[in-house]
Amino acid sequence: MAGERSLRSLTGDVRPLSFDELQRPALAVVVAGVSGSGKTTVGTHLAQRLSARFLDADDFHPAANIAKMARGEPLDDADRRPWLAALNQALAMHLESGESVVLACSALKRAYRDRLTAGLPNAVCVMLSGSRELLQARVSGRQHRFMPASLLDSQLATLEPLDPLREAVGRWAVDTDRPVAEILEDIVATLKAAPAPTS
């Protein structure tokens, strides 16, 4: 399927991009989206391209959250609150040390995205978007360690797309039904064109 081919597309030789080229200091990039949108694939390659550290938000879930999702139960805001706080702290730690970082995280609601980037002026968010058919094909064809395919519908119901009025600065959406190399070029081009955050 086209979606599966997109996730398997080769990026070729990835040339690290210096931040002199971006003309900005260390940066935190949150690669967001529902399950199957390609967060980990895109995030991993983007971190390589930016010579940045890659973090997977799934690694920060407490055991109780993992057990709940493994049972096919969606997380609620109370479950996510300490998780989002831990992720925000991790991003801040890397930025404070002068290290750029790419985080793959669902970040389905605007409030979650705001919490992730709170107090981090050098943080941006890229939302990967795709059709339900594409996402379903991807999650049905893989075995996630604790995110069953049955949770896709609950994630789509929770998802709040980027609001161009509230989230236009440093946040944008990218179509994920394309080769990874094309997605990376879109993201990097936008980072180059955007002014460096100052507050």
pLDDT tens by residue, 94-151:
999 999 999 999 999 999 999 999 999 889 999 998 888 888 887 776 655 555 556 7
Token digits of residue 27? 């940066």
pLDDT at 22 over 50: yes
Closest CA to 66 of 151, 128, 136: 151
pLDDT at 1 over 50: no
Please give the pLDDT value at position 142. Answer: 64
Lowest mean pLDDT among 4-18, 122-136, 173-187: 4-18
Please give the pLDDT value at position 12. Answer: 40
pLDDT in tens, 139-153: 776 655 555 556 788
pLDDT at 15 over 60: no
Please give the pLDDT value at position 13. Answer: 43
- In CATH, the architecture of 2-193 is 3-Layer(aba) Sandwich (3.40)
User: Stretch 183-198: mean pLDDT, rounded?
Assistant: 80
Q: Which residue has the higher pLDDT, 14 or 143?
A: 143
CB-neighbour burial class of residue 92 (10 A; exposed 0-12, middle 13-18, buried 19+)? middle
Give me the residues paired with residue 30 across strands: 103, 125
Please give the pLDDT value at position 155. Answer: 84
Please give the pLDDT value at position 148. Answer: 55
Residue/partner pairs of 138-145 with CB below 8 Å, 24 or more apart: 138/3, 138/4, 138/7, 138/36, 138/38, 139/35, 139/36, 141/4, 144/35, 145/58
Please give the pLDDT value at position 160. Answer: 92
pLDDT at 16 over 70: no
Amino acid identity of 122?
N
User: Stretch 57-82: mean pLDDT, rounded?
Assistant: 88
Q: What is the model's pTM?
A: 0.81
pLDDT at 55 over 90: yes
